[in-house]
Structure 1
Amino acid sequence: MGEPLLSVRDLVKTFPGRRSRAGRAGAPIRAVDGVSFDLGAGETLGLVGESGCGKSTTGRMIVRLLDPTSGTVTFDGTEIGGLSQAQLRPHRRHLQMVFQDPYSSLNPRQTVARIISEPLLVQGTGAADARKRAAELMELVGLIPEHLDRYPHEFSGGQAQRIGIARSLATSPRLVIADEPVSALDVSIQAQVVNLMEQLQRELGLAYVFIAHDLSVVKRVCDRVAVMYLGRIVEIGDKAEVYGRPAHPYTKALLSAVPLPDPAAERARERIVLLGDPPSPANPPAGCGFHPRCPKAQEVCRTERPLLRIVGAGGAASGGAAAGGRQAACHFPEE
C-alpha cells in the first residue's frame, strides 16, 4: 500500500462512568480499546459492528471531535492526536466528516450558503470566494445552486445529506470520515447517496473511513473491512476475503444475517443466531470479549485475550491491524 495517508495505533477512549445517587463514581467505560489500522490515499475502509461497539467514537477521535485517552492518530505523516486546536487548524482542511443525521448536523438558522461556506471562512477565505465555491459544490453533489439561500428544513433528507457532503468537501479534503451517512435515509435514497460518494471518490481522489452497520452497503463501497466488537477490531482484511471466508465467529454471524437476493440460497444457508446482548464496556468479560456469545468458546477464550494475527497461509502472529493480510483476533479462527 506504500506510505499510509492515515495511521491509527492503539487508540483508546475511556469515558467516566455514571455517578450513583449516593455520589459514587461508576466504573469507567472503555468505548474504544486499542484500535489500530492504516488507510491509503484513495482507499475506503469500512468499520462495521453492532451499535455501541465503538466505531463512531473511533471516527470522532480521528477528526479530533473527541480527544483520545491514549494512542496515536497520524495523518499524512503528522501525529495530530496531541496537537492544540490552533496547531490542528491547517490539517483540518484535509480531514473532514459526514454525520449520520443530516438535519442534526446542519444549523437550522443558517442558509445553505453559510453552512457550506463556513469551513472556508474559518480557513480565511473571503466571503465572495466562499459563496462561489459553495455554488460549485451544490452543483457537484447534484443540487441546484440557486437554492443556496434556502434553509435546511426546505430540503428532503437525501438532499440535506448532500448538503452535508458538500460542506465536507468545501476545503478539498483528502480524507472523509463518513459516520453512517445513509442509515437515516430511505433505501432508494441510500443508493443515490452511495452512488454520489463513489463518484466523488473517483473524481476527487478521496479516501473514506465508512462507518456503518449495513454490511450490504459496506460490501459495495469499501476496499477493506474492519469488524469491531466491544471496542476492539476482531477481524480486518480485504472485503473479498472477509465476506467470502470470514475467520472470526462474530464476523460469520453478522454475515449470516445479511439477506441474499436468491431465495433458494437464502433458504439453504446456515443462520447463526447470537444469544444474549453484547457485554457492557463498563464491565467487559475477561479473556475474549466475545466468548459469552461464541458457539466455539473454550476455556482459553475465558482467560486469555486473543490478539490480531494473520489467518490463512500458516496464521503466523502479526503486529496488529496495521500489518498486511487478513487478520482475526480469535483463538480458533476459521483458517
Structure 2
Amino acid sequence: MTPVGTPPSPPTEPLSPPADPLLSVRDLTMTFPGRRSRSAPVRAVDSVSFDVAAGETLGLVGESGCGKSTTGRMIVRLLEPTGGSVTYDGRDISHLAQRELRPLRREIQMVFQDPHSSLNPRQTVARIISDPLLVQGSAAVDARRRAVELMELVGLIPEHIDRYPHEFSGGQAQRIGIARSLATSPRLVVADEPVSALDVSVQAQIVNLMERLQRELGLAYLFIAHDLSVVKRVCDRVAVMYLGRIVEIGPKERVYTAPAHPYTRALLSAVPLPDPVAERGRERITLLGDPPSPAAPPPGCTFHPRCAKAQEICRSEAPTLSVATPGEPRQVACHFPEAA
C-alpha cells in the first residue's frame, strides 16, 4: 500500500559493477502498516536498485532511519519485501518459502550491529558458531571442529570455545558473530553497522579482519554504515540513501572526491579531516531542519526541504536516478547535480 500523495519512485536500472553481479536488487520496496488503524503506511524503502559483484564491497550509507538496515534484512530475507526483487546468482529469492530458503542461507549470511545482543547468552561459543552447520545437517563433531577452525581464523583463542558471550569483550564478541556468519562458507555477507557499537581502536581491528577475510575467502560484502570514514576504507563502491531512496551511487573515488548530490556533499563535509589546517579551512555544509517522516514524505524530491539549491521543479517532480556525467559509472537522483 502506498501512502496517500506519495507516488512510487520510477523504476531505475543502476549501472552494474564490472563483473556479472552476484546480487542484483531491483526496485526493492518495504512498506510497513501504520501503528494506528488510520495512520498512513510507512514506506521505509522505496524502489532501491543496485548490484554487488562477487568479491566486491558495496557501502550503503545514510542517516539513521533512512532504510539501510531494512534493505539489508530484506536481502537476507529476515523481512519479506512488499515490492521489487532480490536476485542472487541469477535466481529470484524475493518470495521463496522457508524450505526453499534453507539451502540458500549457506551462501548469504549477516553480521549484526550489536555483538552481544545478537549472541544467545545461554549458549556457549561452540554452539553459537556451529548452530548454522547443525541446522544444515552437519554432524555435531564436524560442526565443533569447524567452530574451532573459525575461532582461529577470526583471531580468537580456540581454548575459549566453551565460554559464554558475557565472558568476552565487545570486539571479541563481534569476532564471534563474524565466525558464525562464516560457518557455512557463504559468498555474500551483509554487514549491518558491524563496528558502530565498538570503541574506535577496536573498530580498526574488526575492519582489518573483515578485509583479510575478504581477500582469503573471496567474500562479497554489503557494508551498511553511517560512518563515511569507515566506508571509504573498506568499500569499492558507495550508495547513499536518503528517506528510503538511493540518491547517489558510484565508485568510491568519484563519490568522495566529487560528490554530485547535495546530500552527499553535506555528509562528507561532516567527516573530520586528519589535517587540522585543512579541517579549519574547508566548507562545512549545514542541512536545514530534520529529515521528514517516511510516513508523510514531501512531494517531489524528498530532500528539497533541506536543500539550499532547491527550485520549483524540486518541489513538484521527483528526480530519477540517472548517469551524472556521460561516460561515467555513477548515478545521481538530483535535478541540479554538482558538476564533476
- The normalised TM-score by structure 2 is 0.94
8 Å contact kept, 2:243–2:291:
yes
Measure, in 1, the Cα distance between the counterparts of 2:19 and 2:293: 38
2:32 maps to which of 15, 35, 42: 15
The alignment status of 1:186 with 2:203, answered yes or no, reads no
Measure, in 1, the Cα distance between the counterparts of 2:103 and 2:43: 30
2:125 maps to which of 101, 112, 135: 112
Deviation at 1:2, TM superposition (A): 2.8
Partner of 2:172: 159
8 Å contact kept, 2:19–2:54:
no
Partner of 1:317: none
Partner of 1:333: 337
Partner of 1:40: 53
The secondary structure found in structure 2 opposite 1:233 is strand
2:309 maps to which of 261, 284, 296: 296
1:74 maps to which of 52, 66, 87: 87
Deviation at 1:149, TM superposition (A): 0.5
Letter in structure 1 aligned against 2:192: D
- State the aligned residue count: 322
Where does structure 1 differ by over 2 angstroms across 4 or more consecutive aligned residues?
A: none
The secondary structure found in structure 1 opposite 2:110 is strand
1:175 maps to which of 179, 183, 188: 188
The secondary structure found in structure 2 opposite 1:104 is coil
Per-residue CA distance 1:150-208 (angstroms, 9 max, x = gap): 00000000000000000000000000000000000000000000000000000000000
Letter in structure 1 aligned against 2:112: F
Partner of 1:62: 75
Deviation at 1:18, TM superposition (A): 1.1
- The normalised TM-score by structure 1 is 0.95
Deviation at 1:82, TM superposition (A): 1.4
The secondary structure found in structure 1 opposite 2:46 is strand
The secondary structure found in structure 2 opposite 1:52 is coil
Per-residue CA distance 1:277-303 (angstroms, 9 max, x = gap): 100000000000000000100000000
Letter in structure 2 aligned against 1:266: E
Measure, in 2, the Cα distance between the counterparts of 1:39 and 1:274: 30
The secondary structure found in structure 2 opposite 1:160 is helix
Give the share of equivalent positions with the same residue, in percent.
Answer: 80
Gap regions ≥5 residues in structure 1: 315-323
8 Å contact kept, 2:45–2:245:
yes
Deviation at 1:3, TM superposition (A): 1.6
